[in-house]
Structure 1
Amino acid sequence: MAVLQVISTFLKRRLVMPVSNLLRQGMTPRTLAATVAVGSVIGIIPALGVTTLLSTAVAARFRLNIAATVLVSYLVQPLQLLLAIPFIRLGISFFGLGELRLTLAEMQAMFKADWLDAINSLWMANLAGIAAWAMLSVPTGVALYFMLLPLLQRVLPKTGLSGAGGSVA
């Protein structure tokens, strides 16, 4: 029972509280939908280690909440691991790079046979996966934005005009 309490406390502290704090910062539904869409799309790029830099740059460019964008990109990173191989396979088929073996045993055999060729093949396959992600990222981000917008407009509290001494409607 103590383990469940620890997990519950951890999830509240690391997931629920940051998200609820973001919602209380006064973000509009449009801004929050854009932030979640951008963070989600960038969070699934099939290149490990670039999500923080990329999400920060894109959020700064479009004047989104940088912390929220990075948080969302971190929350979807399990999807990044799940979708890396499908993106790579899609990129390989888009660019006709030929068959690439992606099982662990086949990659070990590639490295034993010729490690330079194996690195080159895997590098090209990863670039093809990133290119496939890039082609799908804009339509996916736009679709996600338009799916989230009505939901967030219903969920987020309605605020009135804020002025000196103004009240919240």
Structure 2
Amino acid sequence: MLNLLKQGMTPRKLAATLAVGSVVGVIPAIGVTTILSTAVATRFRLNIAATVLVSYLVQPLQIFLAIPFIKAGIFIFGLSELSFTLDEIIAMFKVDWLAALNKLWIANLTGIAAWGIMAVPTGGILYLIILPLFKQVLPTQKEVQI
């Protein structure tokens, strides 16, 4: 399976695939990683299956990083702090579910915006860290043709 995923990929493409999959996989919007990673992989001509696989592998980080992204977004946009316990959220939904949904929706959008601000620099840094490792481990195209 690993050979199938990296088939015909240069160290640069594989490093880009890993960086894109990692960054897209942690977006604080559950359910959009497959579509987004497929779109980005298609746009940059990366291995779609490998990109989606990497995004799935880092999804536990998506849940772990959702709150920090939301807090960063709230800070960036100067919104009032969102600090509710689960019981308070349930009570908000019982009183006015539309207002509660709106408040949580806005908070999640700020998290997505914070992720968007950090995505490109983080992906670039990941790419620069991973590329030298893949250049040492993977054969170059010239070695494959011999």
Fold in common (TM above 0.5): yes
1:26 aligns to what SS in structure 2? coil
How many angstroms does 1:76 deviate by?
0.5
Contact between 1:101 and 1:107, CA under 8 Å: does it hold in 2? no
Contact between 1:84 and 1:129, CA under 8 Å: does it hold in 2? yes
- Aligned match of 1:60: 42
| Structure 2 spans left out of the alignment, 5+ residues | none
Instruction: Tell me how many residue pairs correspond in the alignment.
Output: 146
Question: Following superposition, which runs of at least 4 residues in structure 1 exceed 3 angstroms of deviation?
Answer: 18-21
- Aligned match of 2:133: 151
1:91-122 alpha-carbon deviations (Å, 9 max, x no partner): 11111110212431221122123221111100
1:43 corresponds, among 20, 25, 47, to 25
RMSD between aligned alpha carbons? 1.5
Higher relative contact order (CA 8 A, sep 6+): 2
Q: How does 1:4-43 map to 2 (within 5 A)?
A: 18-23=1-6, 25-43=7-25
> How far apart, CA to CA, are the structure 1 residues paired with 2:85 and 2:4?
42
1:160 aligns to what SS in structure 2? helix
**If the length of structure 2 is used for normalisation, what is the TM-score?**
0.93
**Could you tell me which amino acid in structure 1 is paired with residue 135 of structure 2?**
Q
How many angstroms does 1:159 deviate by?
4.0
Name which one, 1 or 2, has greater alpha-carbon Rg: 1
- Aligned match of 2:89: 107
1:46-76 alpha-carbon deviations (Å, 9 max, x no partner): 0000000001011111111111111110110
**If the length of structure 1 is used for normalisation, what is the TM-score?**
0.81
| Structure 1 spans left out of the alignment, 5+ residues | 1-17
Contact between 1:107 and 1:118, CA under 8 Å: does it hold in 2? yes
